[in-house]
Amino acid sequence: MTLTRRKILSGAALAAPAALAAPSIGRAQEPIKWRFQTYAGAALGEQVTKPIVDYINTAAQGELEIELYYADQIVPTGELFQALQRGTIDAVHSDDDSMASPTPMRVFGGYFPFATKHILDVPVLFQQYGLADIWRAEYEKVGVTWLSAAGQDPCNFNTKKEITSLADLDGLKLYTFPTAGRFLAQFGVVPVNIPYEDAEVAVQTGELDGMAWSGITEDYTVGWANVTDYFLTNNISGAWIGSIFVNQQRWADLPEHLKTLVMAGIKAADTYRNQWYWGGEAKLRATGDKLQLRSVPPEEWAEVENAAKAFWKEIAQESEVHAKVVSIFEEYNGVINQAGPPYNF
């Protein structure tokens, strides 16, 4: 069947209005904006939290824009959880202890005494021993989404006073985490709770004798090495346990591809933080010129380690969830002790 020129033209004329009625016009979508506060001050936050935000902002190409706030800039660190829950803040980087989490996980965040030996113990505990499932479930109950946990530096002491025995801890006013302070009080330590950014000045005014807060990398990075004289190589925990939390509704509203991107940014920053701390701890102990290294003899420090075992039993009696987490720590410590060096050093 042949088509005449008239039929072709009339068909085109009929089709044209339909094509013109639905033009393809690209319109830029408004970016999703989040406010993200970290427990860390600006100097430390540059290394531990900003890499997460930078990765996401770059990779999201305008779809998600995150504004980073450092310690206490929107709300005090102790109010982070409440602010996250009500949506004042969209995301948080903190440990459960510092942000006054209302969940049973609070006691384990930050530095749970002698639960870890090294920075990599934290992702192993969460991914291979089931802590991730427990954290996720407990925060789901209180309207917050837990995304990920990672390790950081050990909890050593940097002080004005020289520490070479347990007796030297008696009476020391130290800036430390709530659970760490509760544990150390039995050795005469006086825990002091003040805003993060005030700690350096508090040492200079005598309100503090030092910190039981970090490893040596943070001491140099945030300026604490400028106001204290000694670094105790003994620690009360081998790695900080901190997490990324998001307001539950904000996470639910985020498109799946952006959720994947956020998780990729978190993991990339974890990798950066691992090497930054691991290398920094070694280099600054070996070549740092601001803090003199001191140690309590191992046989004497064993008293602190034994006290931690009793502390674990005390915590395990507080709830079923506490008992479950403590049992995981016990299982893991049994494995690394049997494995030997370097796992149990």
- What is the token pair recorded at 150? 């990672």
Residue 89 lies in a domain: yes
Residue 5 lies in a domain: no
204 and 297 share one domain:
yes
Q: What is the pLDDT of residues 56-88, one digit of tens each?
A: 999 999 999 999 999 999 999 999 999 999 999
Residue that the structure tokens 């690209």 belong to: 26
Per-residue pLDDT at 336:
95
Other CB atoms within 10 A of residue 91 CB: 24
Q: What is the pLDDT of residues 220-274, one digit of tens each?
A: 999 999 999 999 999 999 999 999 999 999 999 999 999 999 999 999 999 999 9
What total of structural domains would you count in the chain? 2
Asked if residues 54 and 232 have their Cβ atoms less than 8 Å apart, the reply is no
135 and 213 share one domain:
no
Asked if residues 125 and 131 have their Cβ atoms less than 8 Å apart, the reply is yes
Q: Label residue 288 exposed, middle or buried (CB < 10 Å: 0-12, 13-18, 19+).
A: middle
DSSP state of 105: G
Residue 161 lies in a domain: yes
- Best CA proximity match to 130, nearest among 271, 332, 308: 332
Asked if residues 211 and 197 have their Cβ atoms less than 8 Å apart, the reply is no
99 and 169 share one domain:
no
Residue 15 lies in a domain: no
Q: What is the pLDDT of residues 275-309, one digit of tens each?
A: 999 999 999 999 999 999 999 999 999 999 999 99
pTM equals 0.88
Listed residues 267, 287, 307: the one ending a domain: 287
Task: Give the DSSP per-residue string, 210-221.
Answer: EEEEE-HHHHHH
Alpha carbons 159 and 239: distance in angstroms, whole number: 20
Other CB atoms within 10 A of residue 287 CB: 7
55 pLDDT exceeds 60? yes
Q: Mean pLDDT over residues 160-178, rounded?
A: 97
Per-residue pLDDT at 222:
96
Alpha carbons 311 and 304: distance in angstroms, whole number: 10
Q: What is the pLDDT of residues 3-54, one digit of tens each?
A: 443 343 344 433 433 433 434 333 357 999 999 999 999 999 999 999 999 9
176 and 41 share one domain:
no
CATH of the domain at 301: 3.40.190.170
130 and 86 share one domain:
yes
Instruction: State the average pLDDT for the chain.
Output: 92
81 and 220 share one domain:
no
